[in-house]
Amino acid sequence: MAADIITQDLGSFSHDMSAFGLFMEADLIVKAVMILLMIASVWSWSIILHKRGLLGRLNRRAKRFEDAFWSGEPLDKIYERVKKSKEDPMLRTFSAGMDEWSAGISGGIPSKQNLQASLTQRVERSMSVAIGREMNDLEKGMTFLASVASSAPFIGLFGTVWGIMNSFSAIAASNNTSLAVVAPGIAEALFATALGLVAAIPASIAYNVLSSGLNRYADRLEAFTDEFSAILSRHLDSQDTIKAKKRGS
């Protein structure tokens, strides 16, 4: 008889301890915290997968363009082909430099050293502005990853604290300190912290990895700008040499 009473008491405290059960039995505030964390996690993963694929495509395109750039093909022909191709940050950077170069030599290549230096500086500045604009576009979503990485554990902790407060309130109301009464509420509360960590850990790792990849790509664009500027400077120097030889002859 006593065993039956104990069994009935334990049965009255039965609780679905699965993730879905913990969510369904949680307090309204804790549910809101869980939903917020799940949305943040899904959104973070969408950004992570998108950025990872995008960086891979951009680096492959940059490799193909650099191979064509250094193949010896005239820059004018590359420029004409690039304008018809699918644009990406490196192509836009190259086009910005060529646009400024074409505008600067529309009336002929400057013969004075100060004008040549000014033209080279304008080309570099145009390419730098293009790089800044492109990197701003590529970095969209990174702030969200950083925010999730830093705030999700605390949001989950808030849900945990709120759930534990409710558990203690239930203990006080029922005057029953049995673990069967306390455990479900504590499990629901701790589940919120677990969701916070599930959202924060991938976001933190991905933020560091993607930031490193974006920085390397930005360095690649800057290096290309320096190489392009050096080519234009050599071209201006060669033109000065040709003019000097003509005057000497």
> What's the pLDDT tens digit per position in 109-137?
766 777 777 888 898 999 999 999 999 99
Sign of the CA dihedral running 89, 94, 99, 104: positive
The full 3-state SS of 192-245, as one line of letters, equals: HHHHHHHHHHHHHHHHHHHHHHHHHHHHHHHHHHHHHHHHHHHHHHHHHHHHHH
Q: Look at the pTM and tell me if it is higher than 0.85.
A: no
Q: How many helices (H) and strands (E) does the chain have?
A: 8, 0
pLDDT 10s digits, 50-99: 999 999 999 999 999 998 888 878 888 888 888 777 678 999 999 999 88
pLDDT for 13: 46
Residues 6 or more apart in contact with residue 75 via CB below 8 angstroms:
98, 231
Place of tokens 């009464």: 181
**Residue 93 and residue 225 in contact, taking contact as beta carbons nearer than 8 Å:** yes
Q: Where is 165: in which H helix or E strand?
A: helix 142-174
Residue 186 has pLDDT above 90, yes or no: no
Dihedral pair phi/psi, residue 82, rounded to 5°? -65, -35
- The answer to whether the CB of 124 falls within 8 A of the CB of 133 is no
Q: What is the pLDDT of residue 104?
A: 82
